Amino acid sequence: MRTTVGIIGAGPAGLLLARLLRNAGIDSVVLESRDRGYVEQRQRAGILEQGTADVLRAAGAGERLDREGLRHDGIELRYDRKRHRVDFPALTGGRSVTVYAQTEVCKDLIALQLKEGGPLLFEAEALAVEGADTDHPRVRFRHDGREDVLDCGYVVGCDGFWGVSRTAIPAELTRVFERVYPFGWLGVLADVPPSHDELVYARHDRGFALLSMRSPAVSRLYLQVPEGTDAEAWSDEEIWAELERRFETDDDWTLERGPITQKSVTPMRSYVHEPMRHGRLFLAGDAAHIVPPTGAKGLNLAVGDVVTFARALVHERETGSAELLDAYSQTCLRRVWQAERFSYDMTTLLHRLPGASPFEERLQLARLERIASSRAAETDLAEGYTGFPFG
C-alpha cells in the first residue's frame, strides 16, 4: 500500500487528521489496532475547548455536536463550603466549552471517514515505523492475519503512549519530562440527571471531587483516591456518601443519587516527550504528551497537534516551503507546555496532597480566594480552561 500520510491510531486525533487532509485534497490511510466497536465505546475525555469545537464544525463533523453537545459558559469552584462561579464568556471575550464525549467525536469522524474518506483499517496493528529519517518512511503492520507495509510520504503517530510511534525516535535524540501523582480519580457513570448545570470542581479536606456529565440524563462524577485504589473496593453507598461530603456547601444544594453503571480508577501523571518530530515521523496526542485530567486538556491538545500538522503540510503543498513542517515540534510544544502548566496548577490547587502541611493547605485556600476575588486571576483560569490558541 502507498499513501501520502500514514496515520497510526483511529482515536479522535488520527480520525480528525484524516478528515482535515481529505478536505485539503491530501490522501491518507488510517491504521487502528482495535476493532470499531472498541474505538467507539472507550470512555475518555468529555470537554471540548472552543477551538476544538470550531475545528470539528469546520471539518464537517459538527452536526451532531451542535445538536447534542452541551455548551457550558462556566465552571463552579467549591472550597470551605463556599461556591464561586467562573464566567467564561465574560472573561474571555465570548469563549465557552462544550460537553461532548470523545466516544461521540469518534463515532462522528468514523462515519465520515467510511463514507467520504480514504482507507480506515480496523484491527490493523502497527508493528514498526521504519525509515523515519528518510524521504520514504514506511509502517509495517498486521491485518487479516498477514503482515503488510504502508509506504508513506509522512507518518503521524496518534497511537498513544504504548504505541510504536514514540519508540521509533532514537532514545539518544529524546528528552522526557514526567511527574507521577500519588493519587488517582475514582470515576463513576450514574443514570441520574446532573445535580448542577455546569461542572463543579471541589477542594475538600478529604480530597478533590468533580461533578460532570455525559448528557442531561447521565452524570459523570469523580473522587480523589490513593494511587493504586481498586474501584470495586468502593460500594455504591460509600461513593455517594463521600461525594456528598466533598460537595457540601452552606446553602441548600443537594446531590441527587442514581444507579451507578460504571466504575474505574484513572491514574494521574504529566508527561512530555521532546521532540515531537523525527524526520518524516510526527507525534501527536498521547504519543507525545499526557496531562492529568483536572484541566480537561488531553483531547484538546491532540486536536491542536493534528491541526498544526495539517496546516504545515498544506503550506508545503501550496508554497513548496517546509518551514512550518520543520517547526512542527517547536510550535506544538509551546502550546503543550502551557497546557501542562495549567493542568498542574489545577491539580495542585484542588487535590489534597499526601503529607501536606497545614501551611500548604492554607496556601491552597488562599489561591482559591485569589481567583474568587481577582478578575485577573479568574481570567487566567478562564483563558486556560477554554483553550490556548492553536499554533
CATH number, domain containing residue 59? 3.50.50.60
Contact 386, 378 (CB under 8 A): no
pLDDT recorded at residue 45: 72
- Relative to beta strand 28-31, strand 2-8 is parallel
CB atoms within 10 A of CB 187: 20
Query: Alpha-carbon Rg of the chain, whole angstroms?
Result: 21
Stated pTM of the model: 0.95
Contact 313, 326 (CB under 8 A): no
Q: How distant is the alpha carbon of residue 108 from its chain centre?
A: 17
Q: What is the DSSP letter of 340?
A: H
74 has pLDDT over 90: yes
Q: Could you report the per-residue pLDDT of 272-289, keeping only the tens digit for each?
A: 999 999 999 999 999 999
Domain assignment present for residue 55? The answer is: yes
Lowest mean pLDDT among 40-44, 129-133, 338-342: 40-44
Q: Could you report the per-residue pLDDT of 170-227, keeping only the tens digit for each?
A: 999 999 999 999 999 999 999 999 999 999 999 999 999 999 999 999 999 999 999 9
Domain assignment present for residue 338? The answer is: yes
Domain assignment present for residue 223? The answer is: no
Domain assignment present for residue 227? The answer is: no
Domain assignment present for residue 224? The answer is: no
Domain assignment present for residue 132? The answer is: yes
Domain assignment present for residue 222? The answer is: no
Percentage of the chain beyond pLDDT 70 is 100
Q: Which of 142, 130, 119, 137 is nearest to 10 (CA)?
A: 119
The count of domains in the chain is 1
Percentage of the chain beyond pLDDT 90 is 97
Helix (H, G, I), strand (E, B) or coil at 301: helix
- Relative to beta strand 138-143, strand 120-121 is unpaired
Measured distance between the N- and C-terminal CA atoms of the chain, rounded to whole angstroms: 32
pLDDT band at 330 (very low <50, low <70, confident <90, very high): very high
Tell me which residues are annotated as active site: 72, 201, 293, 297, 385
Range(s) of the domain holding residue 22 = 2-72+100-178+269-353
Which residues is 272 bridged to in the sheet? 177, 289
Fill in the amino acid letter for 269: R
**Sign for the pseudo-dihedral over CA of 54, 220, 108, 332:** positive
Mean pLDDT of the chain: 96
Peptide bond into 293 cis (omega under 30): no
46 has pLDDT over 90: no
CB atoms within 10 A of CB 165: 26
Domain assignment present for residue 273? The answer is: yes
Q: Could you report the per-residue pLDDT of 78-95, keeping only the tens digit for each?
A: 999 999 999 999 999 999
Q: Specify the residue for cell string 509506504.
A: 151
Give me the helices (H) in the chain, please. Answer: 12-23, 36-41, 50-58, 63-68, 88-92, 102-116, 164-167, 236-246, 298-319, 323-326, 328-350, 358-373, 375-386
43 has pLDDT over 80: no
Contact 339, 52 (CB under 8 A): no
Between CA 201 and CA 209 the distance in angstroms is: 6
Helix, strand, coil % over all residues of the chain, rounded to 5:
40, 30, 30
Residue 267: which residues within 8 A CB-CB, separation 6 or more? 180, 181, 184, 227
pLDDT band at 389 (very low <50, low <70, confident <90, very high): confident
Contact 112, 19 (CB under 8 A): yes
pLDDT recorded at residue 390: 83
